[in-house]
Structure 1
Amino acid sequence: MDVDLIFKIAAVGIVVAVLHQILVRSGREEQAMMTTLAGLIVVLMMIVYEIKDLFDVIKNVFGLW
């Protein structure tokens, strides 16, 4: 795993947190929740690709399939 992935996840988290605070303070709680949910989905998709790569490496190391 690269350090770049950790920085990307942190950047998404910071941007989502700032947007969430701005939207909550302007009275748009629903859009703040949707922004948070969208950020979570983006991060989960980034992690899913890394987990897929991990399983591919494990398959190659142990000679599965």
Structure 2
Amino acid sequence: CIPLCDYRCQLHSRKRLCMRACMTCCDRCKCVPPGTYGNREKCGKCYTDMLTHGNKYKCP
């Protein structure tokens, strides 16, 4: 997960926050979408449906 999330979060303004969320999603869904943004649907429902307490998308 680490190299995939590192690439996914490289352009994020809050990289540590992005990495933490990405690692959780990668652990649970066994997937990180390609590219630095978007493409969430490539990881299926697990990745697209995970929400934070504030009802925002958890996975970067």
Normalising to structure 1: TM-score of the pair?
0.32
Q: Which has the higher contact order (CA 8 A, sep 6+)?
A: 2
Bigger radius of gyration among the two: 1
Give the TM-score normalised by structure 2: 0.35
